């Protein structure tokens, strides 16, 4: 199997990982980005970004494409759809094995981000989605359920209405919604939107492999209702993509990496950045800042400083 050597290997190609790669390249360090999907991370599925400096309003994927262009401009190697088999972070050089090659690096930056929490129902169904931008256009003129009561659920619901979805039932397990009030006002004031608080999806019904209805259960009364539905969109939050680092890096009880303010982990030469870290705020700007610090610290580590 081919072995490729770099100064810095970045695991994860979201905004934290790509920012780290840009700074590594500017420090004249050879760098590779290893991404299990396509670069951009969760930001690719964000309909509108309005809080990133220099962009009054921009589609998440467009913003990520611009950052990827900058990564390419600096000549950073990028491996997408890359399945990592194992990591050895305590050795020197550090070693990352994929299905195609082995990558050795003097320093590693973990920037694997988070993934959506999946809907817990006993039946698999192809009409359950986690990205309105990716799959919403198929539901113009149809009925959908949106699961979740935070900003993502409400923002994506407004986007689904823009796509022409005929009716939305928004389902939240708690007794209130947590989205910004202006988003709640904009969505819940629509005649084609109904809300179900304190409610969960108990199960779904299909016919010939297609979703036809969902069974909702009120958690307080126990009363169940069956409503017709063509698709379900789930926005229940995210969990860290830290499985490959378990028993290697120090994680908190939720699986987030515990790093200091300089993005240093418990292993010398291994840094972590972005949403995978224990932190109070998770935004594109904070992820980019983490990536910056991680790359600069990786450069200092290689220099022996």
**pLDDT tens per residue, range 189-232:** 999 999 999 999 999 999 988 999 999 999 999 999 999 999 99
pTM: 0.81
Rounded to the nearest integer, the mean pLDDT of the chain is: 94
- For the segment 101-113, the average pLDDT, to the nearest whole number, is 97
Q: Beta-carbon neighbour count of residue 240 at 10 Å?
A: 21
- 128-234 folds as FAD/NAD(P)-binding domain (3.50.50)
The superfamily CATH assigns to domain 2-115+238-303 is FAD/NAD(P)-binding domain (3.50.50.60)
2-115+238-303 and 128-234 have identical folds: yes
**pLDDT tens per residue, range 131-162:** 888 789 899 999 999 999 999 899 999 999 99
Contacts of 279 (CB under 8 A, 6+ apart): 256, 286
Which of 303, 282, 298, 299 has the alpha carbon at shortest distance from 113?
282
Domain range list for the chain: 2-115+238-303, 128-234
119 and 33 Cβ atoms separated by less than 8 Å:
no
Please report the pLDDT score of residue 209 as a whole number.
87
277 and 290 Cβ atoms separated by less than 8 Å:
yes
């Amino acid at each position: 199997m081919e072995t490729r050597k770099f100064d810095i290997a970045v695991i994860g190609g979201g905004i934290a990982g790509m920012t780290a790669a840009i700074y590594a390249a500017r420090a004249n360090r050879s760098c590779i980005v290893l991404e299990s999907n396509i670069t951009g991370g969760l930001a690719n599925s964000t309909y509108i970004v309005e809080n990133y400096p220099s962009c009054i309003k921009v589609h998440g994927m467009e913003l990520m494409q611009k950052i990827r262009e900058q990564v390419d401009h600096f000549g950073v190697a990028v491996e997408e759809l890359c399945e990592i088999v194992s990591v050895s972070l305590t050795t020197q050089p550090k070693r990352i094995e994929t299905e195609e090659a082995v990558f050795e690096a003097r320093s590693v930056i973990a920037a694997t981000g988070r993934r959506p929490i999946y809907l817990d129902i006993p039946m698999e169904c192809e009409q359950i989605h986690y990205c309105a931008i990716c799959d919403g256009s198929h539901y113009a003129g149809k009925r959908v359920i949106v699961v979740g009561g935070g900003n993502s659920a409400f923002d994506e619901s407004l986007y689904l209405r823009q796509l022409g979805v005929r009716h939305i039932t928004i389902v939240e397990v708690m007794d209130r919604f947590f989205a910004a009030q202006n988003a709640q006002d904009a969505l819940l004031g629509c005649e084609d939107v109904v809300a179900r608080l304190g409610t969960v999806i108990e199960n779904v019904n299909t016919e010939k492999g297609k979703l036809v209805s969902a069974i909702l259960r009120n958690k307080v009364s126990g009363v169940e209702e069956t409503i017709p539905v063509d698709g379900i969109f789930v926005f229940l939050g995210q969990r860290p993509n830290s499985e490959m680092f378990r028993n290697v890096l120090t994680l908190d009880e939720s699986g987030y990496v515990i790093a200091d303010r300089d993005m240093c982990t418990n292993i010398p030469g291994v840094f972590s950045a972005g949403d995978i870290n224990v932190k109070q705020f998770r935004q594109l700007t904070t992820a980019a800042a983490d990536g910056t610090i991680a790359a600069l610290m990786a450069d200092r580590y290689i220099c022996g400083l």
